[in-house]
Amino acid sequence: MPRSRSSHQSHENHSLAAVIPFIGMPAGPAVHNEIDPFILGMPFPLGWISVWVVLTAIIMAVVYLIDPANREDAP
Amino acid sequence: MTAALALIALAALAALALGLVARAGRDMDLEQWAVGGRGFGWILVFLLLAGEIYTTFTFLGASGFSYGLGAPVYYILAYGSLAYVIAYFLLPLVWSYGSQHGLHSQPDFFVRKYASPSLGVLVSIVDLVALIPYLVLQLTGLGIIVTAAGYGAIPKDAAIWIGAAIVTVYVIMSGIRGSAYTAVVKDILILVVVLFLGIYLPLHLYGGIGPMFEQIAAAKPGFLVFPASGQSVAWFISTVLLTAVGFFMWPQSFGAAYSAKDARVFRRNAIILPIYQLILLFVFFVGFAAVLQVPGLKGADTNLALFKLATQEFSPAVVGLIGAAGVFTALVPGSLIAMTAAMLLSKNLIGVLRPEATDAQTLALAKWFVPVVMLVAVYFTLTGNTTIVTMLLVGYSFVTQLFPAVIASLMPRNPMTPAGAFAGILVGAVVAAVLSFTHATIGSLFPALPQAIRDLNVGIIALVANLVAMVVVSSVTRPRAIPAA
């Protein structure tokens, strides 16, 4: 099935966006393994991970929206 | 106490009833039994995939882990979300290939993709070695939960036998439908219980989550951040990545992918499941709340942290409700594991010896294997064999060894040969087993390396050995192919 240039482009974009959590999630504890500052009442590493869990869901929602596979006319 | 016992008994009966009702109005052929007729919408698939989050291991283990070791427990929250990101891309491909070729199990996938029944046998063995200890763990957890929540009135062995019998009956009758339907009640119960405990206990005992962590930090400095060596930041990062990769290689999760009605089911779930995972945070809170309240638990007793604190703080009715939720966390994953193991034995091991078997014969045999699998698991649970604990650690690294061959097979042109995949999985599994049984770490193997590298998860070595063997053997067995880097 030949892909149009635009759908190929957006395929790469949405795959690329999905890489972000793999970097963001471990980055906090890697750079700053200290208890302060607390995030939402939690020690920094735990707060950071929790925030990134939510960000991961948001990123995946964006990925879902720009992924041509989820368009109404997609198989 | 009577209230607690009544609630636990009610949970067991409800699980059995739901498990049986799940088959209503359906002709339970192999398609229905193993993959739910490939008709599950996002909610049922969600529950099957989320089932992995709340097993007894998370319920007891995650709270016990927080209580006993502190910060390293954070990794459990991190890896699941990343696993779902991988699932967004992986599961639709597995699903479409599965429905195209009428696959029922994970080894089926390898047999088809690599046109190699012997690869299917190897994968089945790897899967079974991982699955049986996992089932034992659920039964062990069930025994602990029922004993603790029943104030010791129900003997542990009786709880394990009854639990195993319930699972056996409804798996035989309803297959994967039984697991999916009981999962509905399980997830509602666990959600209520965990949110309540995780919010109420820190608030009531410490005046809030922030004050709780401040008091723990003051009493145990360093407990809430990763230690400088051992389960350090390097350990955390490598373990999160390795576990995320292995997550959907568990045959019961991989196989659950076949039950979806379309590919979008998985993509939608990749958005919801990370959020759902956050509930784990409240399990951590319970474990942390116990740190200053029920001090002194050591070793395996740390698994009791949640119940020790609950029996100290609540009336028997509440403890019973926690116990009821706990019963479901053991039975639901247990049922999916038992069904998967029985299917592997019937279709992918015995099936190789009798390729002419019809679907009806494969199903009939699989149903016979359900009680066999459960009896083996009960045996290991009751004898409390210590190697089983080590085997469980091996389990995760075992299934992770399937990842490279799965990914290679999904490429437009598979760079790996069947022999290469076979060699990679075999070498990876053997290395993983040796490392686990000798309790080796990268630090103990290579003491001269910098601390950060010494702390990396030892599973990386098995995965590297796997990749090397796969690429080398693939290039030898297909001389003109270009080996993938």
Q: What is the pLDDT of residue B479?
A: 58
| Strand partners for B260 | B40
Apex CA B328: angle with CA B323 and CA B330, to 5°? 95
Q: What is the pLDDT of residue A67?
A: 87
Q: What is the pLDDT of residue B302?
A: 85
Q: Which residue of A has its CA nearest to B241?
A: A22
Burial class (CB in 10 A: 0-12, 13-18, 19+), B288: buried
Residues of A in contact with B82 (CB under 8 A): 21-22, 25, 56
Q: What is the DSSP string of A1-70?
A: -PPPHHHHHHHHHHHHHTTHHHHHHHHHHHH--SSPSPBTTB-HHHHHHHHHHHHHHHHHHHHHHH-GGG
φ, ψ for residue B287 (rounded to 5)? -60, -45
Q: What is the pLDDT of residue B52?
A: 67
DSSP B59: I
B144-200 pLDDT per residue, tens: 889 888 888 888 899 999 999 999 998 999 989 888 888 888 888 988 999 999 999
**Nearest partner of B171 among B360, B365, B337, B358, judged by Cα:** B337
Of B209, B224, B274, the CB nearest to A57: B274
Q: What is the pLDDT of residue B95?
A: 94
Q: How many CA atoms lie within 13 A of B276 on its CB side?
A: 21
Residues from A contacting B (CB-CB < 8 Å) are: 15, 18, 21-22, 25-26, 29-30, 33-35, 38, 40-46, 49-50, 52-54, 56-57, 60-61, 63-64, 67, 69-70
Residue B446: CB atoms within 10 Å = 12
φ, ψ for residue A42 (rounded to 5)? -110, 150
Q: What is the pLDDT of residue B356?
A: 87
Q: What is the phi-psi region of residue B151: left when phi exceeds 0, alpha when psi lies from -120 to 50, beta otherwise? A: left
Quote the CA–CA distance of B398 and B462 in Å, as a whole number: 9
Residue B462: CB atoms within 10 Å = 26
Asked if the Cβ–Cβ distance from B77 to A46 is below 8 Å, we say yes
Chain B closest-CA separation from residue A52 CA (Å) = 8
The alpha carbon of B347 is separated from its chain's Cα centroid by a whole number of angstroms, namely 22
Residues of A in contact with B209 (CB under 8 A): 40-42
Q: What is the DSSP string of B247-269?
A: HTTSHHHHHHGGGBSSTHHHHHH
A42-to-A39, B60, B73, B384 alpha-carbon distances in Å? 5, 21, 14, 37
Quote the CA–CA distance of B207 and B211 in Å, as a whole number: 6
Quote the CA–CA distance of B155 and B419 in Å, as a whole number: 50
B81 close contact with A: CB closer than 8 A: yes
Quote the CA–CA distance of B44 and B250 in Å, as a whole number: 18
B135: three-class secondary structure by DSSP: helix
User: What b-and-e string marks burial along B405-428, b requiring 16 or more CB atoms within 10 Å of the CB?
Assistant: bbbbbeeeebbbbbbbbbbbbbbb
What residue has token string 């735990």? A46
What residue has token string 């087993």? B433
Asked if the Cβ–Cβ distance from B81 to A50 is below 8 Å, we say no
With a cut of 80, say whether residue A5 has pLDDT above it.
no
Q: What is the DSSP string of B276-319?
A: HHTHHHHHHHHHHHHHHHSTT--GGGGGGHHHHHHHHHS-HHHH
Total-model pTM: 0.90
B96-to-B92, B267, B340, B343 alpha-carbon distances in Å? 6, 13, 20, 20
Q: Which residue of B has its CA nearest to A71?
A: B264
The answer to whether residues B303 and B60 touch, using CB atoms and an 8 Å cutoff, is: yes
B405-414 pLDDT per residue, tens: 999 999 988 9
**Nearest partner of B269 among B282, B253, B252, B284, judged by Cα:** B253
Residue A3: CB atoms within 10 Å = 10
Quote the CA–CA distance of B327 and B147 in Å, as a whole number: 11
B226: three-class secondary structure by DSSP: coil
The answer to whether residues B104 and B30 touch, using CB atoms and an 8 Å cutoff, is: yes
| Tens place of pLDDT per residue across chain B (485 aa) | 688 888 988 998 988 888 888 887 777 888 888 888 898 988 888 888 877 667 887 778 888 889 999 999 999 999 989 999 999 999 999 999 999 999 999 999 999 999 999 999 999 999 999 999 889 989 988 988 898 888 888 888 999 999 999 999 989 999 898 888 888 888 889 889 999 999 999 999 999 999 999 999 999 999 999 999 889 999 999 999 999 999 999 999 998 899 999 988 899 998 999 998 898 999 999 999 999 999 888 877 888 899 989 999 999 999 999 999 989 999 999 999 999 999 999 999 999 888 888 999 999 999 999 999 999 999 999 987 666 666 777 788 899 999 999 999 999 889 999 999 999 999 999 999 898 888 888 888 888 888 888 888 888 999 999 999 999 999 999 755 455 54
φ, ψ for residue B226 (rounded to 5)? -70, 140
Residue B399: CB atoms within 10 Å = 28
Chain B closest-CA separation from residue A19 CA (Å) = 9
The answer to whether residues B362 and B212 touch, using CB atoms and an 8 Å cutoff, is: no
Residues of A in contact with B213 (CB under 8 A): 35, 38, 41-43
Helix axes B264-277, B74-101, angle to 10 degrees: 170
**CB proximity list for B202: less than 8 A, separation 6 or greater:** B208, B209, B211, B212, B285, B288, B289
Contacts with A, B 270-329, CB within 8 Å? 270-272, 274-275, 277-278, 281, 284
